[in-house]
Chain A
Amino acid sequence: MITVEDLAKHFKDPKRGVVRAVDGVSFQAKPGEIFGLLGANGAGKTTLLRMLSTVISPTSGRAEIHGYDVARNPDGVRKSIGFMSTTTALYSRLTPREMLRYIGKLYGLRRDELAKRIEETIAMLEMEEFSDRLCDKLSTGQKQRTSLARTILHDPPVLFFDEPTAGLDVLASKTIMEFIEDCRERGKTVVFSTHIMSEAERVCDRICVIHDGKVRAIGTFEELKLQTGEERLERVFLALTEPAEDAA
């Protein structure tokens, strides 16, 4: 379960002054739900996810992940989440198995539990063939699967995916999307950030359209269509994010 209330992140920029990267965002996401964050590049999606994953702290507002407050109990939050992004690289001089062992130790998994989880995860993502090869030598698809394995190794109840398919080919993207859908089946709370409309339309139970750090609308695809009177998600998105004067 994720509860976000009036969350904001402001940066001071010498040229632009105060930048409101995230400005009063509120939403809830439930277990077994894929909650989409749909926005253009620079809309504030990554900053929002960074705050929810405790990488950066909010300027104001509050957020609770699986019952843990991001500001007051960041350790509890970190134990409860898995975070994956396409920009997140692997350690090139470790094998996927070594990397999983390292990450598992950081999550405090006990030796026997860790060994079991590594084998389960490798089997689940069909990584046996390359699990002992250096990450540097893996194909893009294999790297993505390793990245997924790292994200779910500690079996977190909440998963954040920040543009996980950006720059990937069709096959690699398909693996990721199927995996995200599988997470819903397993009762995980998933936050899926993307700027690709078709992906959001395909997997998200609810979509939060975010623009200039602000929430423009939240709802199912059907609800958003009704709200804007548009049929295609692309048009829905444009209707919600275009400046009022343009829309008029």
Chain B
Amino acid sequence: MRGWSDVFRKELKEFARDKRVLYSAILGPLILEIFIISLFGYLSSSFSKDFAHKIVVENGRFAEPFLTAMKDSKKFEIVELAPGTTPQEALAQKQGRLALRFPADFQESFEAAASPEVTVLYDPNEETALISLAAVKEVYGSFATKYSASKMADLNIDARQLLPFVLIEDKLPVEKPFAGAWLVGFLPYLVVIWAFYGGFSIVGDLVAGEKERGSLETLLVTPVSRNAIAFGKFCALAAVSLASCTSALAGVFIMGLAPIPMTQKLFESGLSLSAASIFAIVVTIIPLVLFFAGILLAVSTFARNQREVQSYLSLLSFVVLIPAIFSQIIGYTDLAGKLWINFVPVLNTASVLRDALLNRVDWTNLAVTSSVGIVLAIAGLWLAIRLFSQEKVLMRV
């Protein structure tokens, strides 16, 4: 294997001088990460603003006690229905997310404990309406409980006796997560994606580009073995992909440490990572990067030219994207704990990364995921080297 390190160093030197690599593999992930976190930070801070739920109210002047409860929750912005407008029209004009219709005799009925009917109007296809409906129901539940307790007290009845049981919330003592829930869900996806896309900017150039330019023969007539040449290129590709992942993670840390009010909500639990979590991240990302490097190099070796590389990679992207996207939602399903997840490439890495960012490490999952990753990395490297040593493939131009 003499000579692989020379090939590796030469490739890195060329990449370092290539602005495309600098922009798309190094600066790209960093800037994109900063942009995405800023965007979600902005959206997240918008959600948390007071009076986020804008509610149109008809005859609200007759329903002071309930509207006071809503105002006290500081979650609503109450808009009185304009004279001559129906609630349906108000919703169509986006004056509010939903409308509350209090009857004109609400006050009398309420005071007479006659259970007046209040209608909530909303568009069931509007996500924001459903969210606001849940918020209204929460305030209503609390209001109704207090109202019942007050009425029971008037009758000298303990309201607790009417409840089947009392539900007490008790949060488990868990490790402080690396960041907010959204980021913990999204970050593994980004890291996995960059492990794959990081090598895109150089993979075409590595073998197919050399075939196209005619510089490959220069290499093949040197006394360095083809295995060594392929291994040197493989290492260079893996190094760039790893640099992309690191750059993406650096973007997260920069945003976590920067005192930007807009994004602080995403990092309210700090940026703490346990040593076990860091270990888990490293031993799962590195095999994944090596696996991708092997596959990408095999594609570049097989392709006749750089354009052909791009065509193959467009297709291959989906194979990576689908499990990566699924990893985004796996935390919301019961599948997260299933053993078979650890045997699915990409998905297993994202799953372990998610756990690691929550400062949880399941050593069995980690061992399986890492072993699968190592086996695939070896298979990827074997495939790339095998193709590189096949004259029929290497001479395809």
Cα-based distance from A98 to B217 in the complex (angstroms): 18
Q: State whether A78 touches B221 (Cβ < 8 A).
A: yes
Q: Does B219 contact A (CB under 8 A)?
A: yes
Contact with B along A229-248 (1 / 0, CB 8 A): 00000000000000000000
If A56-B391, A93-B14 touch, whether A108 touches B215 (CB-CB below 8 Å) is no
Q: Does B218 contact A (CB under 8 A)?
A: yes
Q: Does B3 contact A (CB under 8 A)?
A: yes
If A78-B223, A93-B18, A106-B222 touch, whether A55 touches B217 (CB-CB below 8 Å) is yes
Q: Does A173 contact B (CB under 8 A)?
A: no
Interface size class of B (residues with CB under 8 A): 20 to 34
Q: Which of A87, A105, A106 has the most CB of B within 10 A?
A: A106
Cα-based distance from A107 to B7 in the complex (angstroms): 12
Q: Does B220 contact A (CB under 8 A)?
A: yes
Contact with B along A201-220 (1 / 0, CB 8 A): 00000000000000000000
Q: State whether B14 touches A75 (Cβ < 8 A).
A: no
Q: State whether A102 touches B223 (Cβ < 8 A).
A: no
The one of A53, A85, A134 that contacts B214, using a Cβ cutoff of 8 Å: A85
Q: Does A177 contact B (CB under 8 A)?
A: no
If A57-B391, A93-B17, A98-B13 touch, whether A88 touches B223 (CB-CB below 8 Å) is no
- For A83, what are the chain B residues with a Cβ–Cβ distance below 8 Å? 217-218, 221
Q: Does A94 contact B (CB under 8 A)?
A: yes
Q: Which of B7, B17, B217 has the most CB of A within 10 A?
A: B217
Cα-based distance from A87 to B213 in the complex (angstroms): 7
Cα-based distance from A71 to B2 in the complex (angstroms): 20
Q: Does A179 contact B (CB under 8 A)?
A: no
Q: Does A150 contact B (CB under 8 A)?
A: yes
State how many angstroms separate the Cβ of B223 from the closest Cβ of chain A: 4
Q: Does A90 contact B (CB under 8 A)?
A: yes
State how many angstroms separate the Cβ of B227 from the closest Cβ of chain A: 13
If A56-B395, A57-B391, A102-B6 touch, whether A75 touches B223 (CB-CB below 8 Å) is yes
Closest A residue by C-beta to B224: A106
Closest A residue by C-beta to B229: A106
State how many angstroms separate the Cβ of B380 from the closest Cβ of chain A: 25
The one of A55, A98, A150 that contacts B220, using a Cβ cutoff of 8 Å: A55
Q: Does A89 contact B (CB under 8 A)?
A: yes
Q: Does A54 contact B (CB under 8 A)?
A: yes
User: What residues make up the interface of A, taking CB atoms closer than 8 Å to B?
Assistant: 50, 53-57, 75, 78-79, 81, 83, 85, 87-91, 93-94, 98, 102-103, 105-108, 134, 150
